[in-house]
Amino acid sequence: MAHLAPKFMIVLCALAFLAGGCARHVAPSALYILEELEAASAVKDPAGKVERLTIFIGNHGDSQYRFVAYNRALETLTVEMKDDAKAAQFLAGALAKETEPAARGELLLAKFEYLMKKDKNAAVAFADSLFETGRSARLFLYMGYELMDPKADPDLALKCFLKSADLSADPHAKSNAIANAGAVLDQQGKKEEAKRYLAMAAGNPDADGLLAKILWAEGKRDEALDLYIRAAAGMPGARDEEKLDSLDAVVHPGATDLGERIMALRIGDEGPLAGATFVDLDGRAYDLAKLKGTKIVINALSPT
Amino acid sequence: MPCVAEFPQLESLKQREKELGFKFLGLQVNGLLNKMRDVVKEKKTTFPILLDDRRFARDVLQISGTPTTFVIDKEGRIRARLVGGTKDIDAVIVDVLGKI
């Protein structure tokens, strides 16, 4: 049997070559990469953990999971090792290596979040310094989220959200940033300006819901209810949270078709789902293109 | 409402795939593998959880947070985007599936 094995292998490899298998570079699967990341993160000694995470980043420089590694290494350096100088050095090294705007945005965000915990004034100054060169919509959006707390810097948060909207090419991302700008203005009591921005983000459930709340308080109940219904179409939880059934009973006494009115706005057409391939937690492969002809429900989730 | 809170409803939806003629897919947007496995074990879920290693949810679907649910028709078109969780998310999705 042993002497047959090499011949058998040659036949197998020839078949694989004909199928393109031998010639093609096969990227490691997402599951394999995550297993490696968890193994690096499980190292007990903090310095050893940072070293393993750095090796992971070097091995998977094109994987988005490297940002989890960056964050874990930074957390180890600052929380476990309390070595701010090394953390700053680590971050500077990472920024020198990452050139793509979105990737740099992730790192700058990590630095901002670290500064927010350590020294709020320094974080605000850092955020302010990024407006000239920052090109990541997500960076400004997330800095805005942190700064919109009245105890932080709502004015700068507003500036961040507007910058994020400017940098966002996608309409969903743009609306979300503008909706948040409206939320800051509302929080600051600038109702008219808030209304203007929220109306610009029409179709974003948060914007619709907040504009509805403002209009309801102003007594414009019909207009407010229509907006609430649109908000609940995109954000199903809003029906209970905003007590829409009671609000509807005020505007349309005796009506029983609120669910139908919400549903009528819930279904639209955003266009075709882009193709993509994935592996799941158990290593099974999925190709969205192959699911055409079947209805699909995709739930984007995180384990929180 | 956090993602994990609606896992039981999502699992009950998964159990109706054949009856209602659809495929249910979870799409994990961050890289917390062990945490995700712990949740799956604790909640006893069986639906597949795809690993989003190329930021499909963020960059292509343009989600603004999790959970966000997409309902896609047989022609492969996105017909509903449902932001956030709710205690009757399964009933909401079944309703949408019945109308597309």
Confidence of residue A12 (pLDDT cuts 50, 70, 90): very low
- Give me the residues of A, 236-265, that contact B with CB < 8 A: 236-240, 263
Q: How many domains does chain B have?
A: 1
Q: How far is CA A15 from CA A12, A22, B22, B42, in A?
A: 5, 9, 36, 44
> pTM of the predicted model, to two decimals?
0.89
pLDDT tier for residue A19 given thresholds of 50, 70 and 90: very low
Helix (H, G, I), strand (E, B) or coil at B100: coil
A33 neighbors A60 (Cβ within 8 angstroms) = yes
Say if the Cβ atoms of B64 and A176 lie within 8 Å: yes
Closest CA to A31 of A73, A63, A67: A63
> Tell me, what CATH number does B60's domain have?
3.40.30.10
Residues of chain B scoring pLDDT < 70: 1
In sequence order, the 6+-apart residues with CB closer than 8 A to the CB of A178 are: A161, A162, A165, A197, A200, A201, A204, A207
Between chains, do B50 and A34 touch, taking CB under 8 Å as contact? no
* Residue B3 to residue A280, Cβ atoms within 8 A: no
Token digits for A140? Answer: 């400004």
Q: What secondary structure letter does DSSP report for B88? A: T
Residue A265, C-beta contacts closer than 8 angstroms, at least 6 positions apart? A229, A230, A233
pLDDT, tens digit (0-9, with 9 covering 90-100), for A61-98: 999 999 999 999 999 999 999 999 999 999 999 999 99
Domain range holding B23? 3-99
**Among partner residues A270, A292, A301, which is closest to B67 by beta-carbon distance?**
A301
Beta carbons of A77 and A117 less than 8 angstroms apart: no
Residue that the structure tokens 């965000």 belong to: A109
Secondary structure of B75-87 in HEC code, one letter for each residue: CCEEEEEEECCCC
With an 8 Å Cβ cutoff, are B51 and A31 in contact? yes
Per the model's pLDDT, the better-predicted residue between A114 and A163 turns out to be A163
**Residue A11 pLDDT exceeds 50:** no
pLDDT at B4: 86
| Residue A253 clears pLDDT 80, i.e. is over it | yes
User: Who's near A177: CB < 8 A, 6+ residues apart?
Assistant: A137, A140, A141, A144, A161, A162, A164, A165, A168
How far is A98 from A66, CA to CA, in rounded Å? 11
Q: Which residue of B has its CA nearest to A141?
A: B64
Residue A7 pLDDT level (bands cut at 50, 70, 90): very low
Beta bridge partners of residue A280, listed in sequence order: B50
Chain A residues with CB under 8 Å of B96 CB are 263, 266-267
Rounded to whole angstroms, how far apart are CA atoms A48 and A31?
Answer: 23
User: How many C-alpha atoms does A69 have within 13 Å on its Cβ side?
Assistant: 30
A169 touches B at CB < 8 Å: no
Residue A298 and residue B3: Cβ atoms within 8 Å?
no
For A217-252, what is each residue's pLDDT tens digit?
999 999 999 999 999 999 999 999 999 999 999 999
Q: What is the rounded average pLDDT for all residues in chain A?
A: 91
Write the single-letter amino acid at A77. L
Whether residue A54 is predicted with pLDDT greater than 80 in this model: the reply is yes
What does the pLDDT look like over A139-149, one tens digit per residue? 999 999 999 99
Q: What is the dihedral of CA A237, A243, A247, A252, to 10 degrees?
A: 60
- Token look-up 């799956």 returns B40
Is residue A9 over pLDDT 70? no
Extract the tokens encoding A79: 């929380």
Residue of A210, A240, A290, A302 to mutate when probing chain B, most B C-beta within 10 A: A302
Tens digits of residue pLDDT in A152-194? 999 999 999 999 999 999 999 999 999 999 999 999 999 999 9
In this model, does residue A22 exceed pLDDT 90?
A: no
Residue A17 has pLDDT above 80, yes or no: no
Q: Does B81 sit within 8 Å of A281, measured CB to CB? A: no
Cis-peptide, bond into residue B67, ω within 30° of zero: yes
Assign A13 a pLDDT band (cuts: 50, 70, 90): very low
Nearest CA-CA partner of A225 in A181, A176, A265, A174: A265
| pLDDT at B45 (0 to 100) | 94
State which residue of chain A sits closest to B5, comparing Cα positions. A304
Task: Give the per-residue pLDDT at A14.
Answer: 44
So what's the pLDDT on residue A27? 62
The rounded percent of chain A whose pLDDT value lies above 90 is: 86
